[in-house]
């Protein structure tokens, strides 16, 4: 029972973090000009879609691993672009990436928990 | 799922593999895009703006103002931080405004003239400031919206109008 509760907590915290990150990305695309702002919209949209997938618990092992990989992919993308061009180095981007880092840890814990627990769906 | 190779691998191995693929592909994608696009980061663009006078007499031509902006076009890239030093160089007692079309607003610091020296006032997030003869202002904003936007003097329309061109 405790494991199930932990799994539910991790799943819903992941959903909340995904929504927060998605909204951050949409806000960034809307408010901060410069190259790549349309990509921020796409990234935000994918995060919100991912939140729905994780909330629905569809193919949890696959979707959780995919969201984890997507989070790291975007983190790496941002870090490389920032190092290369000096863009995306502002308070909103830092906040967004901080939440993304927490999300990645959350996804690791969720993935590990869901692999050893019953599917709570 | 559990019968596949995916299911047989341990969680740690799957996470490590996913992380490795994600991080390396993120770096490769951004480097590739950077190589193709040659993107440069937003910069600070500084301009000096003055009032000018066209060589005609206003009463002769239906009281159309002969005042203009010099320069009458400012071109920046989207995302640039724009700094405009606007100086009222009138040799008579005549005021001008610096007014911007929405959605643009700006922060302004107004400096005095020969009789009133130093900082006269600071105006955060405004769309309009008035400069008396001899005054100057430092106007700053970020070019967040692409397109063409007017900057104008409300007292001398329609001639005293300039255009901010933001390339997005």
Assigned domain for B5 exists: no
Residues of B with a Cβ under 8 Å from any A Cβ are: 1, 6-7, 11, 14-15, 18-19, 21-27, 29-31, 33-34, 37, 39-42, 78-79, 142-146, 168
Residue A66 vs residue B5, higher pLDDT: A66
Assigned domain for A35 exists: yes
**Contact call for B14 and A81, based on CB within 8 A:** no
DSSP H stretches of helix in chain B: 5-8, 11-37
**Contact call for B6 and A68, based on CB within 8 A:** no
**Sign of the C-alpha dihedral, residues B22, B27, B33, B36?**
negative
Tell me the per-residue pLDDT of B74-103, one tens digit each, with 9 for 90 and over. Answer: 999 888 899 999 999 888 888 899 999 888
Q: Which of A29, A74, A84 to mutate to test the interface with B (most CBs of B within 10 A)?
A: A84
Assigned domain for A121 exists: no
Q: Which of A46, A66, A80 to mutate to test the interface with B (most CBs of B within 10 A)?
A: A80
Number of domains, chain A: 1
CA distance B125 to B44: 18
Domain with B120 in it: 44-167
Query: What backbone phi and psi angles, to 5 degrees, belong to B25?
Result: -70, -35
37-56 of A, contacting B, C-beta below 8 A: none
* B71, B27: one domain: no
Number of domains, chain B: 2
Question: Which is nearest to A34 in space by CA: B38, B143, B30?
Answer: B143
Tell me the per-residue pLDDT of B7-50, one tens digit each, with 9 for 90 and over. Answer: 677 888 888 999 999 999 988 988 887 777 666 667 889 999 99
* B76, B154: one domain: yes
Mean per-residue pLDDT, B62-77: 87
* B130, B58: one domain: yes
pLDDT of residue A120: 46
Instruction: Tell me the average pLDDT of chain B.
Output: 85
Residue of A nearest to B35 (CA): A84
* B66, B95: one domain: yes
Assigned domain for B3 exists: no
Assigned domain for B71 exists: yes
Question: Which is nearest to B143 in space by CA: B166, B120, B163?
Answer: B166
**Contact call for B144 and A77, based on CB within 8 A:** no
**CB of A119 within 8 Å of any CB in chain B?**
no
Q: Which of B26, B31, B146 sits opposite A74 (nearest CB)?
A: B26
For residue B135, pLDDT over 60 is answered with: yes
Assigned domain for B4 exists: no
Q: Which of A33, A74, A112 sits opposite B79 (nearest CB)?
A: A33
Question: Which is nearest to B130 in space by CA: B104, B86, B102, B98?
Answer: B98
Lowest pLDDT segment from A86-90, B56-60, B91-95: B56-60
């Amino acid at each position: 029972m405790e494991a199930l509760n932990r799994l539910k907590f991790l799943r819903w915290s992941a959903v909340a973090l995904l929504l927060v990150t998605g909204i951050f990305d949409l806000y960034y695309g809307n408010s901060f000009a410069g190259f790549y702002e349309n990509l921020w919209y796409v990234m935000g949209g994918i995060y919100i879609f991912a939140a729905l997938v994780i909330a629905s618990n569809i193919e949890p092992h696959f979707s959780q691993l995919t969201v984890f990989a997507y989070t790291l992919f975007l983190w790496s993308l941002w870090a490389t672009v920032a190092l290369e061009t000096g863009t995306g180095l502002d308070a909103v981007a830092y906040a967004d990436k901080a939440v993304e880092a927490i999300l990645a840890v959350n996804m690791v814990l969720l993935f590990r928990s869901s692999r050893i627990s019953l599917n709570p769906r | 799922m559990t019968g596949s190779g995916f299911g047989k691998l341990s969680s740690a191995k799957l996470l490590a593999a996913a992380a490795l693929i994600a991080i390396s592909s993120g770096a490769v994608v951004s480097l590739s895009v950077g190589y193709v696009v040659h993107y440069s980061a937003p910069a600070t663009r500084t301009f000096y703006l003055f009032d000018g006078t066209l060589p005609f007499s206003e009463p002769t031509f239906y009281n159309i103002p002969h005042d203009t902006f010099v320069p009458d076009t400012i071109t920046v890239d989207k995302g640039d931080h724009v700094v405009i030093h606007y100086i009222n160089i009138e040799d008579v007692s005549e005021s001008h405004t610096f007014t911007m079309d929405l959605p643009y607003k700006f922060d302004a610091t107004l400096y005095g003239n020969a009789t009133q020296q130093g900082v006269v006032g600071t105006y955060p997030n405004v769309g309009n400031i008035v400069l008396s003869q001899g005054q100057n202002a430092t106007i700053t904003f970020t070019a967040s919206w692409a397109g063409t936007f007017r900057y104008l003097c409300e007292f001398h329309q329609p001639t005293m109008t300039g255009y901010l061109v933001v390339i997005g």
